[in-house]
Amino acid sequence: MAGGGDLGRGEAVVTSTLVLASTSPQRRAILEQLRIPFELAEPRYVEHDPPDADPVSLVREHALGKARSVHEAGRITLGVDTTVHLGQRVYAKPSGEDDARAMLRDLAGRTHTLGEHRGKKILMVAWASW
d(CA 127, CA 73): 15
d(CA 70, CA 67): 6
d(CA 63, CA 123): 11
Catalytic residues: 81
Which amino acid is located at 54 in the chain?
D
The DSSP bridge partners found for residue 38 are: 18
